[in-house]
Amino acid sequence: MHAGCVSNGASSPPPTAPGATADPAEVARSVVAAHRGDRGALLPILHGVQHALGYVPTEVVPVIAAELNLSRADVHGVVSFYRDFRRTSPGRTVVGLCRAEACQAVGADALAAQVEARLGVECGATRADGGVTLDEVFCLGNCALGPAAIVDGRVLGRVTVDTVAALVDSPADAPAGSPAQPEGVGA
Amino acid sequence: MSRTVYVPRDSAARSVGADGVAARVGQAAAGADGVTLVRNGSRGLLWLEPLVEVSVDGGPRHAFGPVAPRDVAGLLEAGLLDADPADPSSALAGHPLHLGETEKLEWLASQNRLTFGRVGVVDPLSADDYLAHGGTEGLRKALSMAPEEVVAEVTASGLRGRGGAGFPAGVKWKTVADATADIKFICCNADEGDSGTFADRMLLEGDPFSTIEGMTVAASAVGAREGYVYIRSEYPDAVATLTSAVEIAYARGWLGENILGSGLDFDLFVRVGAGAYICGEETSMLESLEGKRAVVRAKPPLPALQGLFGRPTVVNNLLTLATVPAVLSGGAQAYADLGVGRSRGTQVFQVAGNVRQGGIVETAFGVTLGELVERWGGGTASGRPVRAVQVGGPLGAYLPPSRFDLPMDYEAFAAVKAMVGHGGVVVFDDTVDMAVMARFAMHFCAEESCGKCTPCRIGATRGVETLDRIRAGVDREKNLALLDDLCTLMTDGSLCAMGGLTPMPVRSAIEHWPEDFHREPVPVSIGRHRPGRDAASAGPVYTPANASVAASLGAPAGSAPSTNEEVAP
C-alpha cells in the first residue's frame, strides 16, 4: 500500500528531542501513562512517541504492546498502516511537497523535480548527511495558493524551489549557516 | 478614537506571510494609542491573502490586500494606524492595496454566508466575540426543546451530510436517538483529505466554537455523552485552534457537566489522524479512533447503531455539524427555503487549483459550476483557457467547460455521473494531460486503499498499469476496453467509495477528452510511480519502438509483466 515514493509524516511537527539521549522505552512508558484512561489511545500514543523521539523506533513496539495489553502485531500493524509514523530518524528539516490535484494544476510535479535536484535528495528519502527528509503529502488544504508545501510543521503557499531551498541546510560539504527567509513568508 | 486591525491567522494566510505582517503591525501598534490587533480567520478571498482589515471606532471594516510583510511600512506611512480609510481624501484610502469596504466587495457580498457567517469576522478564540455574533443561540434553543423536536427540526431543514454522500442528517440522528445503549457518541469527521477542499480547515481555524456547539446540539438530540473530532494531521493549525477552543468552552460551561444549566453532560475530545486518506470514510475513521488500522468496515451494521466501540454513533462531517446551530437559531424553514430540489440550504464551495480568484464561496445550492469557475474564480491563474474542472475531490468527475451550465445540486451531478462531494472545485488549464490525471486517480487509490477489498486494493494497481500501457501505445483499444471493464468491477465490487468512485474521474476523463488517450505514445515504465523519470531503475519499459515487441510477448490483457517482474523473453 504505502509504497513507492510516498513516505512518512511530513506533517508531523519537528521532534522536540531528536533521538539520542532519551531511552525510547522510558519515553514510550511515560507517553502511555499520560494517555491512561483515554479510549482507543494508540494513535495519540504513537503521535506522542514520535513527537518526543522524532520517529517510532522498533524497540518501543513491544513496550507499547505490553502496556496496552495488545499484541506486538497489533501495534506494528498500526505503525505501518499510517503514513505519518516514521520508523527511522528523519532529517534535521522535514519537507513535504503537496502532490495532489489542485497543486498539480499549478505545477507541483515540475516543482518536485526541481526540489529533488536542488536539495540533492529523492522524494521519500532522507539525504545521506541527515540534513533533510523530503516527503510527498496529499493535500494541505492550501489549494487556492498552490503549489503548497509543509516544512517542519509550517504550511507554505505559492512555493518555489527557492522557498524550500532557503529553509533547508545545504548539502553536507557546504557550510551550514542559518538559512535566509524567503521573501513574503518570514516573520 | 479606537481602531482594530485584523490580520488573519488562517494557515493559508500564514502560508503567504500573514505572521510577518502581523509582527510588523503589532510592533507599530504597541506604540500607538487605542489600536487593537486581532488575528481573525480568513474571509476566504484567498488570492488576496494576507488580507488586512481596519475598522475605526467600530465602523465598517476596510480591506487591504494582498499585503506582503514588505508592504507594511508603506501602509503605516499612509496611516494604517491613524487615518480614516473611509475618508476618500486620506492617503490610506488612496493606497494601491486598498480594496474598499470588505462587506461591499462584490465577491463576498454576492455570497450567502451562513455556515461561514463568523469566519474571518470574529477572533476565533474569543468566546465573547462568539456570543456577540449569535454564538450558542442554536444550542440554547435546542436545550429548551425536547430531543425529538430537535431531531425533527434538523430533518425539516433538509440538511444533508456535507461529507459527500449527502445523507439526510436528521434521519441519521433519529436512528441514533431511537437506539438504546449504555453510551452513545458524536463523531465529527474533519479528515478533509480531498484535494481542492479546505472548508473544514478554515472553519476550524476561523470559528471553532460552531463545531463544538453543533456537536453539543447533536448530543442533546440523541442522548450522547462523548464526542470526538477527528482532524487530519496535515492541519496542525486547525488542531491547535480547536484544542484551545475546547478548553475555553469547558471554562465557559459550554462543555462538560450540566451544560448551560440544562443538565446535559457532554465531553469533547480532539483526535489527530496520521496521514491516511481513507479515514475520511466514516467506518475507517471509527476504526482509527479506536486505535486500529483504518480498515473499512462492511455495512450493515450502520454506525448509527453499532459505531464507535460498537455503540450508537452519529458520524457527521464537520460542515454538517457546524451548520446545525444556524439551522436551529434561524429556523428549519428559513434554511429549507434556500437551495434547489432536494439539495437544501447553502453549500460551502471551495474554488482552487489553477484559478485566478480562489477561495470560499458559500451560496445556496443551484449555483452553476460555470459561475463558480468564472464569476467567482475569474478563470485560470495562468490566463490560459480552462480545459477541465474536477468537482468533489480525487474521486469526483472531471468536467469540461461545456458542462458549466450544470447546477451544483447532488441529484443534477449524479445524473451526469459526477458528484458535488465536499464542494471542492479544482480548475485546470489547457496544458493538462487528462490521461495523466486518470492515471493519478488510479495511483492515488492504490496508495490510499485500506486493503480490505480486492477490487480496490488490486484493481487500482492494475488500473495504473493499464493506463501506462495506453499511454505507451500498447494495444490501445484493447486496453481501453480492459480499463472500462476494470472500472465496472471496481464500481460494483468495492466495499466503500474509495474503490467504488475512483473510476469516476478515470471514466470522465476518457469520456470528455478521448484524444488524450490517443496521443503520440510516450516512454512509460509500467506501474512506476512517476512515468518516464526513473525508467532506468524500473522494470519493463515500453517505448513506441518496442511496443509491438511487448505486445508480441503477450502484453497486455493481464499477462503483461508487472512492476515486480522482469521481462523474460
Would the ipTM clear 0.95, i.e. be above it?
Answer: no
**Is the pLDDT reported for residue B56 higher than 60?**
yes
**Is the pLDDT reported for residue B281 higher than 90?**
yes
**Is the pLDDT reported for residue B559 higher than 90?**
no
Once rounded to an integer, what is the mean pLDDT over residues A22-46? 96
How far apart are alpha carbons B405 and B193 in whole angstroms? Answer: 27
Which cell numbers in the block locate residue B5? 486591525
Q: Provide the chain B residues 142-161 that lie in CB contact (below 8 A) with chain A.
A: none
**Is the pLDDT reported for residue B210 higher than 70?**
yes
Contact B20 A155 (CB under 8 A): no
Confidence of residue A170 (pLDDT cuts 50, 70, 90): confident
A99 and A151 fall within a common domain: yes
A67 and A112 fall within a common domain: no
Is-contact B346 B32, C-beta < 8 A? no
Contact A102 B196 (CB under 8 A): yes
Q: Which residues of B touch A136 (CB under 8 A)?
A: none
- Residue ranges and CATH numbers for the domains of chain B are 3-105 (3.40.30.10), 127-336 (3.40.50.11540), 339-429 (3.10.20.600), 434-552 (1.20.1440.230)
**pLDDT, mean over chain B:** 93
Count how many domains chain A has. 2
Contact B197 A155 (CB under 8 A): no
A138 and A158 fall within a common domain: yes
Q: Is B331 exposed, middle or buried (0-12, 13-18, 19+ CB in 10 A)?
A: middle
Once rounded to an integer, what is the mean pLDDT over residues B468-487? 97
Between residues B540 and B138, which one has the greater pLDDT? B138
Confidence of residue B550 (pLDDT cuts 50, 70, 90): very low
Once rounded to an integer, what is the mean pLDDT over residues A108-129? 95
pLDDT recorded at residue A60 = 98
Once rounded to an integer, what is the mean pLDDT over residues B125-133? 98
Distance from CA of B158 to the nearest CA of A (A): 28
Q: Which residues of B touch A82 (CB under 8 A)?
A: 273-276, 294
Which cell numbers in the block locate residue B112? 450567502
Distance from CA of B478 to the nearest CA of A (A): 28
End of a domain among A14, A46, A81? A81
Contact status of B310 with chain A (Cβ, < 8 Å) = no
Is-contact B19 B215, C-beta < 8 A? no
Q: Which of B107, B232, B447, B448 to mutate to test the interface with A (most CBs of A within 10 A)?
A: B447
Once rounded to an integer, what is the mean pLDDT over residues A130-154? 96
A98 and A40 fall within a common domain: no
Q: Which residues pair with B54 in a beta bridge?
A: B5, B62
A100 and A48 fall within a common domain: no
**Residue A186 resides in a domain:** no
Q: Which residues pair with B541 in a beta bridge?
A: B525
**Residue A99 resides in a domain:** yes
Q: Are strands B339-340 and B343-344 parallel, antiparallel or unpaired?
A: antiparallel
What is the helix, strand, coil percentage profile of chain A, to 5?
A: 35, 10, 55
pLDDT recorded at residue A21 = 66
Q: Are strands B339-340 and B398-399 parallel, antiparallel or unpaired?
A: unpaired
**Closest residue in chain A to residue B190, using alpha carbons only:** A141
From the list B467, B493, B446, the residue with the least C-alpha distance to B560 is B467
pLDDT recorded at residue A17 = 47
> Residue B529: which H helix or E strand, with range?
none
Q: φ and ψ at B540, to 5 degrees?
A: -65, 135
Once rounded to an integer, what is the mean pLDDT over residues B57-81? 97
Between residues A5 and B491, which one has the greater pLDDT? B491
Q: Which residues of A touch B193 (CB under 8 A)?
A: 138-139
End of a domain among A51, A81, A111? A81
**CA distances (Å), origin B29, targets B3, B7, B25, B38, B507:** 10, 13, 6, 11, 56
Contact A141 B233 (CB under 8 A): no
Confidence of residue A4 (pLDDT cuts 50, 70, 90): very low
Q: Which residues of B touch A137 (CB under 8 A)?
A: 234, 275
Once rounded to an integer, what is the mean pLDDT over residues A87-95? 96
pLDDT recorded at residue B528 = 74
Once rounded to an integer, what is the mean pLDDT over residues B187-197? 96
Full DSSP string of B27-55: HHHHTSTTEEEE-----SBGGG-S-EEEE
With a CB cutoff of 8 Å and minimum separation 6, the contacts of B348 are: B115, B116, B162, B199, B203, B319, B360, B361, B362, B423
Domain at A123, CATH number: 3.40.30.10
A56 and A105 fall within a common domain: no
Distance from CA of A79 to the nearest CA of B (A): 8
**Is the pLDDT reported for residue B531 higher than 70?**
no
**pLDDT, mean over chain A:** 86
Once rounded to an integer, what is the mean pLDDT over residues A66-87? 97
**Is the pLDDT reported for residue A136 higher than 80?**
yes
Contact status of B381 with chain A (Cβ, < 8 Å) = yes
**Is the pLDDT reported for residue B493 higher than 80?**
yes
A130 and A152 fall within a common domain: yes
**CA distances (Å), origin B363, targets B238, B333, B371:** 24, 17, 11
Phi-psi label, residue B557: left if phi above 0, alpha if psi -120 to 50, beta otherwise: left
**Is the pLDDT reported for residue B527 higher than 60?**
yes
Q: Which of B9, B10, B11, B15 to mutate to test the interface with A (most CBs of A within 10 A)?
A: B15
Contact A44 B11 (CB under 8 A): no
Contact B12 A144 (CB under 8 A): yes
pLDDT recorded at residue A7 = 36
**Residue A105 resides in a domain:** yes
Contact B394 A100 (CB under 8 A): yes
How far apart are alpha carbons B148 and B143 in whole angstroms? Answer: 11
pLDDT digits (tens, 9 = 90+) for B301-329: 999 999 999 999 999 999 999 999 999 99
Q: Which residues of A touch B390 (CB under 8 A)?
A: 101
Distance from CA of A67 to the nearest CA of B (A): 14
Identity at B537, one-letter amino acid code: S
Q: In what order do the strands lie in the sheet with B3-6?
A: B35-38, B3-6, B52-56, B62-64, B98-101
Contact A82 B46 (CB under 8 A): no
Alpha helices in B269-420, H assignment, sequence order? 282-289, 318-330, 332-336, 369-370, 410-415
Distance from CA of B149 to the nearest CA of A (A): 31
pLDDT digits (tens, 9 = 90+) for A6-30: 333 444 444 444 445 679 999 999 9
**Residue A57 resides in a domain:** yes
pLDDT recorded at residue B526 = 87
**Closest residue in chain A to residue B456, using alpha carbons only:** A1
Question: Quick one: DSSP state of residue A4?
Answer: T
Is-contact A125 A118, C-beta < 8 A? no
Between residues B528 and A34, which one has the greater pLDDT? A34
Contact A40 B290 (CB under 8 A): yes
Contact A141 B194 (CB under 8 A): no
A124 and A144 fall within a common domain: yes
A110 and A162 fall within a common domain: yes
Distance from CA of A121 to the nearest CA of B (A): 14
> Residue B157: which H helix or E strand, with range?
helix B147-157
Q: How many helices (H) and strands (E) does chain B have?
A: 22, 18
**Is the pLDDT reported for residue B546 higher than 60?**
no
Q: Which residues of B touch A108 (CB under 8 A)?
A: none
How far apart are alpha carbons B20 and B251 in whole angstroms? Answer: 32
**Is the pLDDT reported for residue B513 higher than 60?**
yes
Contact A101 B353 (CB under 8 A): yes
Once rounded to an integer, what is the mean pLDDT over residues B52-59? 96
**Residue A184 resides in a domain:** no
A69 and A97 fall within a common domain: no
Distance from CA of B332 to the nearest CA of A (A): 31
How far apart are alpha carbons B486 and B94 in whole angstroms? Answer: 61
A48 and A112 fall within a common domain: no
**Residue A177 resides in a domain:** no
Contact status of B461 with chain A (Cβ, < 8 Å) = no
pLDDT recorded at residue B1 = 80
Q: In what order do the strands lie in the sheet with A93-98?
A: A125-126, A132-137, A93-98, A149-151, A154-156
**Residue A150 resides in a domain:** yes
**Residue A145 resides in a domain:** yes
Confidence of residue B382 (pLDDT cuts 50, 70, 90): very high
Q: Are strands B52-56 and B3-6 parallel, antiparallel or unpaired?
A: antiparallel
Is-contact A153 A77, C-beta < 8 A? no
A75 and A99 fall within a common domain: no
User: What is the residue range of A155's domain?
Assistant: 93-166
Is-contact B452 B498, C-beta < 8 A? no
**Is the pLDDT reported for residue B553 higher than 50?**
no
Three-class secondary structure of residue B313 per DSSP: strand
Question: Quick one: DSSP state of residue B58?
Answer: T
**Is the pLDDT reported for residue B558 higher than 80?**
no
pLDDT recorded at residue B42 = 98
Identity at A99, one-letter amino acid code: R
pLDDT digits (tens, 9 = 90+) for B342-357: 999 999 999 999 999 9
Distance from CA of B310 to the nearest CA of A (A): 13
How far apart are alpha carbons A181 and A160 in whole angstroms? Answer: 13
